[in-house]
Structure 1
């Protein structure tokens, strides 16, 4: 083979690899298995910036090649935009920041943003190439506790009101492990017959700086605690492959970067939750694989507690075989004691909305299943479906 032939062969191989990468990026943006359809719908409802970025990415080969670097188990577009946010937080004076409501109270028009977004990404493409293949979406959204609390109340009642032993899989910084320390407002969705939404329940710590509001849709009401009384917690522990430390500035930046730019109230809620957590005793968070850690944790629990394993937007963002292994371990552990698992996840290939589900295990088998509610992606709305 001549040098010319070798060069041509190398060039064609490179082009083939590049086209395969672009094809993968396009499928990642559009394929519902990769959250594409659902995230585009969510962008249209919540984030004009993300919607604009996503629309302009398609057909932009250089940008598509960067998107293709994201782990396909992750919500690809959200993860990509989060990585960009991380870099932008380090350069708040960059022209791109002028379009972000999270950076300025008077953002520039969203219709002008894409050239600035593209320029920022290409100027930082080496950093993105290093970040994206291993990046995990580490959203730690306290508002989702409003979806989880009714399920925890139900577990408390099913467990004969024994104290709960909370184990969170994929806990990120552990903010949702503190769910019983927050204050909650539940509103009934606006009824044309009755005017504005109205408060139907309020409970939790009345002095908490973390005030979480959730709007209930539909006619069913979830089971909720009363007043300042929450289900008692005997112990709580989180598990995460790469947990975040709220005392580290770079980890705080990553948590903030996970929040969509227009959701200014979510940014403030996160800051309040971090500030509150830093004043409290640190919670036990184990760095490790749940498949290895979970059996030992469950075995060590005393008999007088009700084990409640829960996860939110975690198991559906990892390999299917890992999810299945974790679920098999939970079921196997129920051979010697009753266990409960609360799941708040989004299966974009099969569901139209995130689901809150409750699984009760007994004697090594799944004894009871309830699809409790359909929820909004960040927890601010919920349609309760299960009988009280």
Structure 2
């Protein structure tokens, strides 16, 4: 890749490579075409204008390339543009590009409005990455869990204990669960024998997804890559579980909500958790929230422990780190690394260096 290319084009090209490596050749092809279109002054340039002057880190922090392909997929799922819908149903890259090239001009306002909203992927398979952390808290404390998720989107991962998992040679969860998932698990199994009982759960998001609204449910599905049918099926099943259990994601700023709602509670382990959220906050907000979490941790006791579990990317690395900090004590542990969509987990379970 030429060093002289604009960062917006580098981001589109790099995201194309990431998509291919993560099992979506279709989006790899489409994003390469988008990069060429931007350089030619085509309709992609207008849609990507809000990020045109962002550096490469800024492009990925905002997930700008994913917003672009998400906008096309949402249009296809809506059925409002028959040509785009037909092309996506056939998973034909040539047909998709021909159709979206027209739509990017004819439906610019709609696509730009979609892209103005930060991604809320709510990938259900991230639960299999977080599972080991929840089990570790249960094992270490021997207490029931109170689970609080920030940046929860639609709250699908707030139902993590209602799903069925296969992790290497081990299994965990309800055998009758409608949401089932496995992963390429490397390393020792997590603490599947630890007794787990979730006695309280709550979630917040700055802009929560209302699953009773078809348009908002469709937004979630739009960020699932169109050539990955298993992910789409899992998402639909998780939506049904969440609706059936009546979980409501509260509309709130993460720091305000944590300050108001999250405190250690005697007789339970309180777990604050999040996934693929930290990168979307400015550095000052990250520092403020981390300080608040440490303040809460300082109030924890042996019979009222507090845990901070997170799955977040270390910079631009194409993987996520799973980290757990448990108070009292405040020891931070690097539990493992994982694929951003949960397709693989390298489980360490030991202390961080």
1:297 — aligned with what?
A: 261
Distance in 2 between residues matched to 1:203 and 1:144, nearest whole Å: 15
1:12 — aligned with what?
A: none
Q: Is the 8 A contact 1:52 1:111 kept in 2?
A: no
Which residues in structure 2 correspond to 1:1-388 (within 5 Å)?
Answer: 26-30=6-10, 37=14, 39-45=15-21, 46-58=23-35, 59-61=39-41, 62-69=43-50, 72=59, 73-91=61-79, 94-100=82-88, 103=89, 106-108=90-92, 110-111=93-94, 113-133=96-116, 135-158=117-140, 160-187=141-168, 200-217=169-186, 220-226=187-193, 231-280=196-245, 282-299=246-263, 301-337=264-300, 338-349=305-316, 351-362=317-328, 367-387=330-350
TM-score (norm 2): 0.86
Q: Secondary structure at the match of 1:262?
A: coil
Tell me how far 1:176 sits from its aligned partner: 0.5
Q: Secondary structure at the match of 2:290?
A: helix
List gaps (5 residues or longer) in structure 2: 52-57
Change over 3 Å in CA distance of 1:205–1:296 after alignment to 2: same
Distance in 2 between residues matched to 1:230 and 1:28, nearest whole Å: 48
List gaps (5 residues or longer) in structure 1: 1-24, 188-199
Change over 3 Å in CA distance of 1:155–1:29 after alignment to 2: farther
How many residues get paired?
Answer: 331
TM-score (norm 1): 0.79
Tell me how far 1:117 sits from its aligned partner: 2.4
Tell me how far 1:315 sits from its aligned partner: 1.4
Cα root mean square deviation, aligned = 2.3
Q: Secondary structure at the match of 1:332?
A: helix
Q: Secondary structure at the match of 1:334?
A: helix
Larger radius of gyration: 1
Q: Is the 8 A contact 1:149 1:224 kept in 2?
A: no
Change over 3 Å in CA distance of 1:352–1:49 after alignment to 2: closer
1:21 — aligned with what?
A: none
Distance in 1 between residues matched to 2:248 and 2:19, nearest whole Å: 35
